[in-house]
Every structure is written in structure tokens, then in C-alpha cells.
């Protein structure tokens, strides 16, 4: 028998709230091999991330990958770890805090952060929203461009948890915002701000890669990434030779989306443009892939190969423009839901008394 989660102490007359679940990928608890191994075991076992026969993949994952990769990844995490912890968690937490402050005055919204892998988990975030009385929930995955490897994985974990709830909330899911005017404008403004204090170099948009066969099978990620880059370049009035796109973080022998960022940087270092500015528009917050791979490792690769200048523009993180963009996006998805009722204590008491007379316990 399924033990459905519910609140037996629910009190009639309680104000119904809108909840917002902000989801990100996740991070290890620490930059040590054991923590990284636990994180990678969860992350890489997700069939949305690695589409492979389970039995064969289990043998590869536990027989090879989790024996080798954790130590290497832990070293990379140590390069970017902060006194407050993982950059992804620090920036995501700050962003969620500011979103809560922005949404509270009008919507009385409860906002929680949940990670697909690691802590705080998506089930923990949903439970927090349930305890706060959220009966309508907007889910915002912090992935501007949709991919089955990321956005759909959030959906899987949210719905899997809600199947255990006795009182299932109304649910709205934001699938992508790759061409949202506010998001495009915030990226363009960040680049312009950077160029006010740095040289205006060739702009390279580096997106996280996925296996090419996922796109061939119908994943829209490539098209949405290219559209984001094009819209930002148009906003900045850049010519075709002033910007380009590449894809990073490929692993294994399978072909991923091309061109690869490291290969493109080596090409530029040898034949130009030798002065580049990189931005990663697929990352809402800075993390291992932006801070270690792009800002550190690829910078060294480029300069040692003959490049002359290399700048990295940070993710939007918890900036004013990012908070305003996501607040607007969430509010548009809330539209159509009646604004939360601000009933007086007397009205709430009357509701409770009517319920008690009808046999309610609370």
C-alpha cells in the first residue's frame, strides 16, 4: 500500500499560497573524491543524461567511470570551491532568496531551491513548499535552452515526487526561455557592461554540449542555443565575423554537438581571432563548467597555443537584471491563477467555524 504524503493538521481558513520551485543541476557536498563519487553516481545513472542500455551502462559506470573520474573531478572542484561552498549552490541560493523577496509583496509566494542531484533535493524543496501551504506550484528549471538531459530530468523528478502526495497541487512547468526578451536583454547588457571596461574582442558563445544523436532524435537544444546566440548578437548589432558559437564539456568517444569549444579556441589561437571574449548563455549560475573549464582551463589552453587575450563574462547569477527577468517570467506563468486572497482574520475564523460545524477536525 502506498503511503501518500499529506497534512492531517490542515486548518480550514488557512491562506492558499503559490509556490515556486527553482531547480538547478546540483553539486557535490564537498570537493573531495567521496562526495564527488556520490554526486556522479546519481547524476550519471539518470537515463535522461545517459541514454544507454541499463545493464551495460551500470557495468561501465561502476566498473570504470566511478573508479577513475571522482578524483579528477574533485581536483577540478577544488580549483573553484569557495569558503561558502560550491559556487553553483552559493549563486543559486542567492538567486532564489532574491526571487522570493521580489515575488512576496504581490503574490505571497513561497520560493524554494531544489537540485536534480545532490542537496537540497527536488523532493526536499517540494516538501518545503507543501509545508508552507503551496497548492499551486510553478516549476522553473534554470536551463534557458530546453534539453531532455536537463529540463526533462527536472520534470521527471518533480512528477515522481508528486505521485506520492495525497493533495496534488496545480502545476505549471516552464520548459525554456531561450528567446525571452528579458533574458536576451540581460545577456546583452552584461556583455556591454564588460566591454565598457575591457577591450571589445571576438565574442564566443560557449554552450554545454550534448550527444549529437540526442538532437537527431528530436531534442531542440541545438536550435534553441543557436537562436539565443543569434538574438544576443543582433541586440548588440554584431556582424557575422564578430561572434561565433561552440559547445563544451563533451565526454567519451561519442560525437557531441560541434564545434567543440577547446578545438575552436585552438583554431583561433593559431589563425585568429587571437583576442576573444567568452560567455556561457546556457548557464544561469556559474559552476564547475564555467569557472574551471572555461575561465581557467580553456584560458590557459588558448594563451599557451598563441592566443593574445582571453576574457570570461560571468553568468547572470543573482544580478538585478537576472532577478527581474526571472521574476517577470514567473509572473507571466502565474497569470490566470487568481491572486492569493488576503482574507481578514475574521473571514478566516468564519471559514474555520463553518468547517468545524460540518465535521472537520481542524
pLDDT in tens, 157-183: 999 999 999 999 999 999 999 999 999
Distance CA 179, CA 337 (A): 24
- Neighbouring-strand partners of residue 137: 19, 171
At 156, the pLDDT band (50, 70, 90 cuts) reads very high
- pLDDT attached to residue 362: 44
Distance CA 245, CA 275 (A): 15
DSSP code of 358?
T
CA 242 to chain centre: 28
Assess whether pLDDT exceeds 70 at residue 320.
yes
> Torsions phi, psi of 197, nearest 5?
-120, 0
Count of C-beta atoms within a 10 Å radius of residue 121:
17
Distance CA 216, CA 210 (A): 11
Taken in order 212, 214, 217, 220, the sign of the CA dihedral is negative
Strands 110-118 and 17-27: parallel
Distance CA 229, CA 59 (A): 39
Read off the pLDDT of each residue in 111-121 and give the average, rounded to a whole number. Answer: 98
* 198-251 confidence digits (pLDDT tens): 999 999 999 999 999 999 999 999 999 999 999 999 999 999 999 999 999 999
Distance CA 38, CA 78 (A): 16
> Torsions phi, psi of 85, nearest 5?
125, -155
Cis upstream peptide for 270 (omega within 30°): no
- The pTM of the full predicted model, rounded to 2 decimals, is 0.92
Residues 6+ apart with CB under 8 A from 105: none
How far, in Å, are 90, 109, 152, 166 from residue 135 at the CA level? 28, 11, 22, 12
Read off the pLDDT of each residue in 75-89 and give the average, rounded to a whole number. Answer: 98
* 7-45 confidence digits (pLDDT tens): 766 666 566 799 999 999 999 999 999 999 999 999 999
- pLDDT attached to residue 7: 76
53-67, 155-169, 305-319, 330-344: range with lowest mean pLDDT: 330-344
| Cβ proximity of 288 and 255 under 8 Å | no
Coil, strand or helix at 17:
strand
Amino acid at each position: 500500500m502506498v503511503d501518500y504524503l499529506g497534512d492531517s493538521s490542515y486548518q480550514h481558513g488557512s491562506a492558499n499560497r503559490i509556490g515556486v520551485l527553482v531547480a538547478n543541476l546540483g553539486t557535490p557536498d564537498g570537493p573531495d573524491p567521496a562526495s564527488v563519487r556520490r554526486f556522479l553516481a546519481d547524476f550519471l545513472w539518470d537515463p535522461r543524461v545517459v541514454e544507454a542500455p541499463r545493464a551495460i551502462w551500470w557495468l561501465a559506470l561502476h566498473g570504470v567511470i566511478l573508479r577513475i573520474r571522482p578524483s579528477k573531478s574533485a581536483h577540478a572542484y577544488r580549483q573553484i570551491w569557495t569558503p561558502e561552498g560550491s559556487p553553483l549552490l552559493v549563486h543559486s541560493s542567492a538567486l532564489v532568496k532574491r526571487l522570493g523577496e521580489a515575488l512576496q509583496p504581490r503574490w505571497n509566494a513561497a520560493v524554494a531551491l531544489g537540485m536534480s542531484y545532490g542537496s537540497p533535493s527536488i523532493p526536499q524543496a517540494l516538501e518545503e513548499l507543501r509545508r508552507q501551504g503551496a497548492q499551486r506550484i510553478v516549476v522553473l528549471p534554470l536551463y534557458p535552452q530546453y534539453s531532455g538531459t536537463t529540463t526533462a530530468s527536472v520534470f521527471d523528478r518533480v512528477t515522481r515526487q508528486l505521485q506520492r502526495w495525497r493533495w496534488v497541487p496545480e502545476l505549471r512547468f516552464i520548459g525554456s526561455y531561450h528567446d525571452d526578451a528579458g533574458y536576451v536583454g540581460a545577456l546583452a547588457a552584461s556583455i556591454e557592461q564588460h566591454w565598457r571596461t575591457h577591450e571589445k574582442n571576438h565574442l564566443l558563445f560557449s554552450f554545454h554540449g550534448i550527444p549529437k544523436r540526442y538532437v537527431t532524435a528530436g531534442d531542440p537544444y541545438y536550435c534553441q542555443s543557436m537562436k539565443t546566440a543569434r538574438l544576443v548578437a543582433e541586440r548588440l548589432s554584431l556582424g557575422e565575423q564578430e561572434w561565433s558559437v561552440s559547445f563544451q564539456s563533451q565526454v567519451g568517444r561519442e560525437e557531441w554537438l560541434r564545434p567543440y569549444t577547446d578545438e575552436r579556441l585552438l583554431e583561433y589561437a593559431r589563425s585568429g581571432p587571437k583576442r576573444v571574449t567568452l560567455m556561457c548563455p546556457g548557464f544561469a549560475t556559474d559552476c564547475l563548467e564555467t569557472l574551471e573549464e572555461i575561465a581557467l582551463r580553456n584560458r590557459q589552453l588558448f594563451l599557451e597555443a598563441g592566443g593574445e587575450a582571453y576574457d570570461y563574462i560571468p553568468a547572470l547569477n543573482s544580478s538585478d537584471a537576472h532577478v527581474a527577468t526571472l521574476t517577470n517570467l514567473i509572473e507571466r506563468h502565474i497569470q490566470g491563477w487568481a491572486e492569493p486572497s488576503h482574507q481578514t482574520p475574521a473571514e478566516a475564523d468564519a471559514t474555520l467555524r463553518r468547517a468545524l460545524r460540518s465535521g472537520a477536525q481542524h
